[in-house]
């Protein structure tokens, strides 16, 4: 009893080489591609050691947080200057009120503008400190609020342009750092 030929498509045993069909040149081997890991999300395969959400605050987000504290400190300096200016205008208006020819409307307008500036400065200072304090555990609302704060800072800094140039630059940097992809991933991470 004989066993069947282990290769049914090759030449029969005991046959001369070169007999039958012409020999073909050997084909080059294709390199084996490793199989991609299973992807459960549409962004592509996930690396085994990489988490989809950051576990530590990214550098750009930390920089934006520091810039918010710097903006708050600059606002406090501006608040002190505005209060000193309001005191100076009040003192000048009291001295001018003793004169019968003095027009008090300019003093009143100046006081009104400084009081409005003080209110805006206090609001922006409180907003900057509150937003910066929420970076560690805040969500999308903190990110959106920070972007709105940065844009508001940029717009208001144009009103006092030569002095407000620092606020313009810092506002732009805050918006850019929070709007990047790592900032988006940080503020959209799941919280437990």
Structural domain contains residue 95:
yes
pLDDT over 50 (residue 4): yes
Q: List, for residues 132-148, the tens digit of each pLDDT value.
A: 999 888 788 899 999 99
Give the three-state DSSP class for 21: coil
Provide the number of structural domains found in the chain: 1
Structural domain contains residue 19:
no
Q: List, for residues 87-124, the tens digit of each pLDDT value.
A: 888 888 877 777 776 677 777 888 889 999 999 999 99
- HEC readout, 135-151: CCCCCHHHHHHHHHHHH
Cα gap 59→185, rounded to integer Å: 12
- CB proximity list for 40: less than 8 A, separation 6 or greater: 46
Structural domain contains residue 9:
no
Residue 167 CB burial class (10 angstroms; 0-12, 13-18, ≥19):
buried
- CB proximity list for 76: less than 8 A, separation 6 or greater: 125
**Beta strands, E only, the chain:** none
Structural domain contains residue 84:
yes
Structural domain contains residue 39:
no
pLDDT over 90 (residue 42): no
pLDDT over 80 (residue 1): no
Q: Which domain holds residue 69?
A: 59-187
The predicted model scores a pTM of 0.66
């Amino acid at each position: 009893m004989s066993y069947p030929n282990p290769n049914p498509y090759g030449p029969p045993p005991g046959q001369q080489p070169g007999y039958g069909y012409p020999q073909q040149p050997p084909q080059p081997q294709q390199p084996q591609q490793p199989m991609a890991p299973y992807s459960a999300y549409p962004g592509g395969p996930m690396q085994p050691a990489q988490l989809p959400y950051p576990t530590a605050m990214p550098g750009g987000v930390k920089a934006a947080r520091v810039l918010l504290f710097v903006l708050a400190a600059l606002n406090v300096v501006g608040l002190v200057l505005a209060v000193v200016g309001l005191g100076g205008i009040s003192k000048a208006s009291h001295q001018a009120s003793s004169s019968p020819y003095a027009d008090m409307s300019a003093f009143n307008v100046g006081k009104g503008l400084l009081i409005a500036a003080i209110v805006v400065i206090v609001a922006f200072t409180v907003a900057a400190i509150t937003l910066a304090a929420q970076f560690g555990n805040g969500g999308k609302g903190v990110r959106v609020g920070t972007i709105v704060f940065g844009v508001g800072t940029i717009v208001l800094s144009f009103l006092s342009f030569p002095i407000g140039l620092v606020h313009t630059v810092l506002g732009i940097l805050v918006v850019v750092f929070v709007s990047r992809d790592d900032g988006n991933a940080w503020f959209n991470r799941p919280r437990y």
